[in-house]
Amino acid sequence: MAQVQVRDLDISFGALKVLEKLNVTAEDGEFLVLLGPSGCGKSTLLNAIAGLLDINGGQIFIGGKNVTWEEPKDRGIGMVFQSYALYPTMTVEKNLSFGLQVAGVKKDEIRSRVGRAAEILQIEPFLKRKPANLSGGQRQRVAIGRALVRDVEVFLFDEPLSNLDAKLRGELRVEIKRLHQRLKNTVIYVTHDQIEAMTLADRIAIMRNGVIQQLDTPHIIYNKPQNLFVAGFIGSPSMNLLRGQLTTVAGKRVFSAGGLSMPLDRYEFTSGAPDAAPAVLGIRPEHVAIGDDATKMPFAVEGEIEVVEPMGSDTVAWTKVAGQSFTFRCESEVQLHVGQKLKIGFDPARGSLFHEETTNRL
Amino acid sequence: MSAATMDGNVTAATKQPTGPKPKRVTIGRIGLYAFLIISAAFFLIPVYVMLITSLKDMPEILSSNVLTPPLRPTLQPWIDAWLHACTGGDCSGLSPGFLNSVKITVPAVIVSIGISSLTGYALSFWNYKGANFFFGLLIFGAFVPYQVVIYPIIIGLRTVHLFSTLPGIVAVHTIFGMPVLVLLFRNFYAGVPIELFKASRVDGAGFWQTFFYIMLPMSVPITTVALILQVTGIWNDFLFGVIYAGRPNWPMTVQLLNIVKTTQGIPQYDVNMAATIEAAAVPLIIYFVSGRWFVRGIAAGAVKG
């Protein structure tokens, strides 16, 4: 049982309030990702959970125990840092065993735990090497190993893959996921990379200016973002945001922009959504159909291609809908060229509607 | 016809800039080297004169040119300077002074570097209240003129019965070394990623364990810099030695002065020169042995590992 619970956490640096009355819970065995742009307070939150940062108010519970005043070593956590933070003067083996030696663990026990971690992470061949003689991926594996040997129930990851090149990042991402599936520890993982968040997380907490904007499964965050910030932050290329008006005509809600009106019959409105308001309709580029498929959609309009970006696996193209910039994604086999006119269609019910002033989901 | 055209093309192609840019000797460069060589000679000539004079005997010194190499090289002046040169009534040479200097320098260097590295570590990583004020105060200490504090320190040392003793002079050197050394170590540790310190805390290492197992082993380059600074500074010190050490503990520099100035008749240039080189030997050797590390340590602040 290693639930991590943060209650009413306040952290400020001088006059600057970084976190205010923040509440978040990571369930036992859950992979929780804290996602947000830099400066949103996600690393601050992680450091507070680790006990590496003095807090100004609130409580932190790990495994049902109040650890608010405990030292990091007594919190039952292992931590992995962005810069690996391996002790440069020690061999890999020493790096792994240092914490255990400090804690006074018996030599046999140390050897078996280091051996087990090295086996899991496949770093046995490097045990006698110094960190300087390892590649980035190997170093990060050792850093994970250092958390592993502590035999703790909670792992804290602070942007562990941000220093690696794209290929290694992809490989280690899968390894971290595999590791979590095998060990079933509670993991709190900080990143600014939405792909990492989407692929790894059981739940994602999207943070901005010290406030959690939305805390939900990747699926719901992707399909039903709570507000404009989340909608714009998740997804690449990012969601199309069309500015317009929400109106009700003959008991049916309609979104209108630039003279076009889009039916919202099957859209699931949140309770208490107004009948009329200035609104923003968000449509994911990958939910847009073109050509013949477009005419089958509840809404379709003619558009002219302005820019084409072939990605290899698919193609992203820029056009205009209702006079506003609009991107869509299609298969790479489809031949597109600049200036081409074609039908663009989408289902507004599959999109997300936001109030323009409050920026909240309608 | 076509062959001729091809040849023409080839010659034209060789005139195009390809490969490394050729280096040309310019007048500016010649002037620069000439200046550097003259400057080097300017500083090396006194050393050369000292060396050759110390290898001549007195009659040869008086009869030959200063720059002429010794015709009958002898090591006698070196032996005399070490064992028989007179300071006042005492004719036992520089050797007792050498021993005193060792007795002052070794503990003073160890203690000052030890305390300073610990202070720098605490200032960089353990953000306690007033740390910045304390650091500012320490740095201010580097700007206090010695003359102002000489007498107060005498009274202070006398009060704790350390005036004119070895521990007294060691304490004085330690204190005066601290501002610069703490600055050195603090800046070095400021360049160490804070995550390393965090990792060690998560591993459960406390203040001392983090210092001894993690930080100190990383500090070899900067410790070498501190070592050279301290050995050179303390070994060459005259003022503190003559004031605070007390006559039986006078360092080599004080004795050197006494040897050079207490001569009846003609000054014994050969012995004086030999004694001076002997007194300067330790910092020179330290520098040559660890110079490589010194440069590395100075550069360590600029490049992160």
Mean pLDDT for each 10-residue chunk of chain A (362 residues)?
90 90 94 93 94 93 94 93 91 94 94 93 92 90 92 93 90 92 94 94 94 95 94 91 90 88 88 89 93 89 93 92 92 90 92 92 91
Inter-chain residue contact A85 with B203, CB threshold 8 Å:
no
Of B202, B213, B218, which has the smallest distance from its Cβ to A79's Cβ? Answer: B202
Q: What domains can be seen in chain B, in order of their start residue?
A: 24-74 (no CATH), 95-300 (1.10.3720.10)
Task: Clarify whether residues A131 and A172 are in a common domain.
Answer: yes
Checking ipTM against 0.90, whether it exceeds it is no
* Residues in chain A closer than 8 A to B199 (CB atoms): 79, 81, 85-87, 146
* Domain membership of residue A242 as a residue range: 233-355
CATH number assigned to the domain comprising residue A339: 2.40.50.140
- Mean residue pLDDT of chain B comes to 86
> Is the Cβ pair A52, B205 closer than 8 Å?
no
Predicted local distance difference test score (pLDDT) of residue A33: 96
Q: Residue A191: what are its φ and ψ, rounded to 5°?
A: -155, 160
Give residue B299's pLDDT band: very low, low, confident or very high (50, 70, 90). low
Query: Shortest CB distance from A85 goes to which of B195, B217, B305?
Result: B195
Q: Smallest Cα–Cα separation from B167: which of B95, B246, B98?
A: B246
**Which of A50, A51, A56, A43 shows the shortest CA–CA distance to A13?**
A56
A89–B305 C-beta distance less than 8 A: no
**Do A147 and A133 sit in the same domain of this protein?**
yes
Of the CA atoms within 13 Å of residue B171, those in its CB half-sphere come to 15
Residue among B192, B195, B196, B203 with most chain A CBs within 10 A, to mutate? B203
State the pLDDT at residue B297: 63
Q: Are residues A9 and A93 in the same domain?
A: yes
Instruction: Kindly report the nearest CA distance between residue A307 and chain B, in angstroms.
Output: 39
Separation of alpha carbons B116 and B189, rounded Å = 12
A238 in the same domain as A140: no
| Single residue among A198, A232, A266 that ends a domain in this structure | A232
Which pLDDT score is estimated for B169?
94
* Residue to test with chain B: of A74, A89, A142, most B Cβ within 10 A: A89
Backbone dihedral angles phi then psi of residue A22, each to the nearest 5 degrees: -90, 130
Both A192 and A287 in one domain: the answer is: no
Same domain (yes/no): A342, A263: yes
For residue A360, tell me if it sits in a domain: no
Asked whether residue A219 falls in the same domain as residue A237, the answer is no
- Residue A69 within a domain: yes
Give per-residue pLDDT as tens, A3-44: 999 999 999 988 888 999 999 999 999 999 999 998 899 999
Average pLDDT, chain A: 92
Which of A83, A102, A146 has the CB atom closest to B195's CB atom? A83
A238 and A215 part of one domain: no
Q: Are A146 and A78 in contact (CB under 8 A)?
A: yes
Q: Count of CB contacts below 8 A, A vs B?
A: 63
Q: Are A230 and A222 in contact (CB under 8 A)?
A: no
- Where is A100: in which H helix or E strand? helix A92-102
The whole-angstrom separation of Cα B105 and Cα A333 is: 80
pLDDT digits (tens, 9 = 90+) for B103-132: 999 999 999 999 999 999 999 988 788 888
Q: Inform me whether the pLDDT recorded for B91 exceeds 90.
A: no
Judgement on whether residues A168 and A260 belong to the same structural domain of the protein: no
Residue of chain A whose Cα is closest to the Cα of B208 = A102
Q: Provide, as residue numbers in chain B, all residues whose Cβ is less than 8 Å from the Cβ of A50.
A: 198, 202
Task: Tell me which residue in A73, A77, A88 faces B218 most closely, judged by beta carbons.
Answer: A88
Please indicate if any CB of chain B lies within 8 Å of the CB of A103: yes
- Given a contact cutoff of 8 angstroms between Cβ atoms, the answer to whether B154 and B172 are in contact is no
Residues of chain B positioned with their CB less than 8 A from the CB of A79: 198-199, 202
The alpha-helical segments, DSSP class H, found in chain B are 2-15, 27-54, 58-63, 76-83, 95-125, 131-141, 146-159, 166-190, 194-202, 207-209, 216-218, 220-236, 239-240, 252-261, 269-300
Report yes or no on A346 lying in a domain. yes
Q: What percent of chain B has pLDDT over 90?
A: 47
Q: At B284, is the pLDDT very low, low, confident or very high (cuts 50, 70, 90)?
A: confident
**What is the total count of domains within chain A?**
2
What was the pLDDT predicted at B290? 79
Residue B1 has pLDDT above 60, yes or no: no
> What distances in angstroms separate CA B250 from CA A169, A244, B152, B166, one per listed residue?
65, 91, 21, 9
Which chain A residues are closer than 8 Å to B203 by Cβ? 73, 98-99, 102, 146, 150
Min mean pLDDT across A257-266, B85-94, B188-197 is at: B85-94
Place of tokens 């040119």: B65
Tell me whether residues A98 and B213 touch, CB distance under 8 A. Answer: yes
**Residue ending a domain, choose from A232, A253, A287:** A232
Model pTM?
0.82
For residue A227, being part of any structural domain is answered with yes
Q: A47 and B198: CB-CB below 8 Å?
A: yes
In a domain, A197, yes or no: yes
Which of A46, A81, A82, A188 would best serve as a mutation to test chain B binding (most B beta carbons within 10 A)? A81
Contact A146 B203 (CB under 8 A): yes
Domain boundary among A198, A216, A232: A232
Distance, first Cα to last Cα, chain B = 63
Both A264 and A306 in one domain: the answer is yes
pLDDT computed for residue B298 by the predictor: 62
CA closest to B199 among chain A residues: A85
A133 lies within 8 A of chain B by CB: no
Closest CA to A153 of A229, A78, A240: A78
- Closest residue, chain B, to A100 (C-alpha): B203
DSSP A32-64: EEEE-STTSSHHHHHHHHHT-S--SEEEEEETT
Asked whether residue A23 is assigned to any structural domain, the reply reads: yes
Q: Tokens in use for B257?
A: 């002065």
pLDDT of B263 = 61
Q: How far is B288 from chain A (nearest CA, A)?
A: 26
Q: Cβ separation of A98 and B305 shorter than 8 Å? A: no
> Are A85 and A152 part of one and the same domain?
yes
Q: What's the pLDDT tens digit per position in B27-74?
A: 999 999 999 999 999 999 999 999 999 999 888 888 888 888 888 888
Cβ of B195 within 8 Å of Cβ of A81? The answer is yes
Residues of B in contact with A52 (CB under 8 A): 198, 201-202
What is the pLDDT at residue B304?
40
- A361 falls within a domain: no
Task: Say whether both A301 and A208 belong to one domain.
Answer: no
Distance CA A225, CA A232 (A): 9
Judged by CB atoms closer than 8 Å, whether chains meet at B199 and A77 is answered as: no
Stronger pLDDT, B247 or B88, i.e. the higher one: B247
**Average pLDDT for B256-262:** 83
Check residue A1 and give its pLDDT: 60
Phi-psi bin for A85: left (phi > 0), alpha (psi -120 to 50), beta? left
Residue A147 lies in a domain: yes
Query: Which residues numbered 42-101 in A keep a CB inside 8 Å of some CB on B?
Result: 47, 50-52, 71-73, 77-79, 81-83, 85-90, 98-99
